[in-house]
Amino acid sequence: MAEITIAAKTRDEFGKGAARRLRRDKLIPAVLYGHGGETVHLALPAHATTMALRTANALLDLEVEGGKSQLALPKQIQRDPVKDTIEHVDLIIVRRGEKVHVEVPLVVTGEPRGEAVVILEQNSLMLEVEATHIPPHIDIDVEGQEVGYTLTAADLVLPEGALYTGESEDVIVSIQTPQAKDMGESTEEASADEAGDDAEAAAEE
């Protein structure tokens, strides 16, 4: 994944009032920490940061005024629940060659054969990978596969140097008949209804 350069400013004002002033100036409050160093409080340009963080696990090359550049990954992103704008970012320091644990999105490509439904058992994978070589996503090709096909973690084709941190038998994708999927959903709904009936009966007692 390519590094995204972000110009950052240090800040020495804190609290809700200071954060609101930063946002009015089209800046996002952030903190940078890791590797045993002191936490650094930063202000990041809102537009550039928002665009960069549209990519999962965006690798940021922070050019902090008055200091050297620093590689960092987003650890936590706080968003406004109504506007969905970024309110605050926690960043963790990484170094070239260092391995990190990150969640990488899964993308299914291709179409299975016949009447079949692709079931994605996981939306993302937890990988151990070099910080400077985090894949944007992992593609899973189901072109021409038939009902009954199952892909486990052992079958995954991962980028060189990447390691799945779960179990090799973990199911990632399966292909089922539409009826099997509908029956599974009906069973879940029936179980929920039964639980609700039991709760109502207990309340009446």
Where do the domains of the chain lie? 4-94, 100-176
- Averaged pLDDT for residues 179-205: 53
pLDDT tens string 62-114: 998 777 789 999 999 999 899 889 999 999 999 988 999 999 999 999 999 88
* 90, β-bridge pairs: 31, 76
Strands 150-152, 117-120: pairing is: unpaired
Is the distance from CB of 175 to CB of 143 less than 8 angstroms?
A: no
Superfamily of domain 100-176 in CATH is Ribosomal protein L25, C-terminal domain (2.170.120.20)
DSSP state at residue 65: T
pLDDT tens string 16-26: 888 888 888 99
CATH topology of domain 4-94: Ribosomal Protein L25; Chain P (2.40.240)
Q: Show the beta-strand stretches assigned E in the chain.
A: 4-10, 27-34, 37-45, 60-64, 69-79, 86-93, 99-109, 117-120, 124-130, 138-141, 150-152, 163-164, 171-176
pTM: 0.73
